[in-house]
Amino acid sequence: MNWPRALLTDSGGFQMVSLLHLADITEKGVTFQSPVDGKPMLLTPEESIQIQNKIGADIIMALDDVVKTTITGPRIEEAMHRTLRWIDRCIAAHKRPHDQNLFGIVQGGLDPVLRDICVRGLVDRNLPGYAIGGLAGGEDKDSFWRVVAQCTATLPEDKPRYVMGVGYPLDIVVCSALGADMYDCVYPTRTARFGTAIVPEGVLKLKHKAMAEDTRPIDPQCACMVCKNYTRAYIHSLVTKDAMGSQLLSFHNLYYMMQLSRNLHSSIVQGKFPEFVCNFLQKMFPKGDIPEWVCNAMEVAEIDISSCCAPFRYIQATKVQSNLNEDEIQAV
């Protein structure tokens, strides 16, 4: 690929969710029915690591047993314990530990007890880094941030903490406030294919008729090639009928996410992260109508956002936080 920077490969575990109708999960591994010819294909923890060893990425992921967070019952516990058993098989199969960093993945659904068991089990194995998996699968935002907060509070501070499948700019800022370091998501390019640009205020839907005669750039403050050279009207004319529209929006969206990441990182290094968070939220929610889950998460992260919150909403969030029982406070 001629990519001279860091690379991360995933294990194939997510396909247990995305191709569930074609997969059969057992202790040995996961058997997929090929969507091409219908033939069965077995992916084991050992084979997943072997493939990733051959590719040679800097970070490789353990094969885990992934279930949607919206599922309840014994399947969640089964998947968590299997994930811990499979990490040992992944470690044993890993032939390039000095070249490649094997990350374990925390599972356990929305159950704080199961998450805690999995976190402690992975930390005991002293891995180079840790991922928080099984989120961004349809759970409510209040449950989402609480799982992230619980896991980051227990995982080692001196090793990368990676929230898989996230995400939206707001989610990244919130998770970073809670102690996460790494993210991955198809959102910037997927939403571009639907004709949507990411901007500091949220999103801009270029397919709307209102864009047809708008001669401004996507974001007047953006320095990317697209915003320097193309108007909203021109991109509107493309996204309805030409792949070039999706490509231009993908370029802009990736530029936006990279700039967001740079600014976020710089603010942490400079000791100005709380100011960064407030500026980010003020642009996205100029009326102060910040979602309650964000206010609650920032309260736990000990970041004061009262200056950019509507007074009533901030008081409500503070009240919610003060009403947490002792166990919940300890968990987050």
User: Per DSSP, what are the bridge partners of residue 25?
Assistant: 30
261-268's contacts with Cβ under 8 Å and 24+ in sequence apart are 261/172, 264/172, 264/173, 264/176, 268/176
> According to the model, what pLDDT value does residue 323 have?
47
The model's pLDDT over 245-280, given as tens digits with 9 standing for 90+, comes to: 999 999 999 999 999 999 999 999 999 999 999 999
Contact 110, 147 (CB under 8 A): yes
> According to the model, what pLDDT value does residue 311 have?
65
Q: Which residues of the chain have pLDDT under 50?
A: 314-315, 319-332
Domains and CATH numbers, the chain: 8-165 (3.20.20.105), 191-289+300-306 (no CATH)
User: Per DSSP, what are the bridge partners of residue 162?
Assistant: 131, 182
> According to the model, what pLDDT value does residue 12 have?
85
The model's pLDDT over 133-157, given as tens digits with 9 standing for 90+, comes to: 999 888 999 999 999 999 999 999 9
**Cβ partners under 8 Å of residue 63, min gap 6:** 11, 12, 13, 29, 30, 43, 44, 45, 48, 49, 86, 90
Active-site residue set: 10, 184
**Cβ partners under 8 Å of residue 17, min gap 6:** 66, 67, 68, 137
> According to the model, what pLDDT value does residue 16 have?
64
Average of per-residue pLDDT values in the chain: 91
**pTM of the entire predicted model:** 0.89
